[in-house]
């Protein structure tokens, strides 16, 4: 059997989600987390990350970009996404507070009316905040 690498851009949305889950799970295992994919967004999470210490349990939402959504407020959700081959894992509510405090999303129709906001590319001004969430 001969193996041939796939082109990420040729995958459909579901395949990309699966691909990204396995990539981030491989990164998180280096930090002592075992990841379990959930078939339905249980309490807002796509997957659970359990730490080997038996005490840390993360509900994680997998995204394709930096995303904030009011529907995740108060649910103790972590969001993970990759940009430029760098993974970021942040507590949703903490990041939301930091960005709102700095005036991001203020007056944006998507945030004010739909309750969510995302960035196709992370602005440099936000990247300084995100750096502490690199994994």
Digit-by-digit pLDDT tens for the chain (135 residues) are 899 999 999 999 999 999 999 999 999 999 999 999 998 888 889 999 999 999 999 999 999 999 999 999 999 999 999 999 999 999 999 999 999 999 998 889 999 999 999 999 999 999 999 999 999
1 in any annotated domain: no
CA pair distance 82, 65, nearest whole angstrom = 7
3 in any annotated domain: no
- DSSP β-bridge partners for residue 51: 33
- Nearest C-alpha neighbor of 96 from the set 124, 70, 63, 133: 70
Residue 122 in tokens: 């992370």
Half-sphere exposure of 19 toward its Cβ, with a 13 Å CA cutoff? 14
Rounded to two decimals, the pTM is: 0.92
What CATH number is attached to the domain comprising 55? Answer: 3.40.1350
94 in any annotated domain: yes
93 in any annotated domain: yes
18 in any annotated domain: yes
CA pair distance 25, 41, nearest whole angstrom = 17
């Amino acid at each position: 059997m001969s193996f041939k690498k796939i082109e990420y851009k040729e995958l459909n949305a579901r395949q990309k989600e699966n691909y990204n889950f396995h990539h981030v799970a491989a990164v998180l295992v280096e930090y002592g987390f075992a990841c379990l994919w959930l078939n339905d967004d249980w309490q807002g999470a796509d997957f659970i990350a359990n730490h080997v210490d038996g005490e840390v349990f993360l509900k994680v939402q997998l995204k394709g970009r930096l995303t904030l959504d009011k529907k995740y407020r108060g649910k103790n959700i972590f969001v993970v996404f990759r940009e430029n081959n760098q993974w970021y894992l942040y507590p949703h509510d903490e990041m939301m507070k930091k960005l709102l405090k700095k005036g991001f999303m203020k007056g944006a129709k998507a945030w004010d009316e739909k309750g969510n906001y995302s960035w196709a590319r992370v602005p440099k001004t936000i990247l300084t905040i995100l750096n502490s969430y690199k994994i």
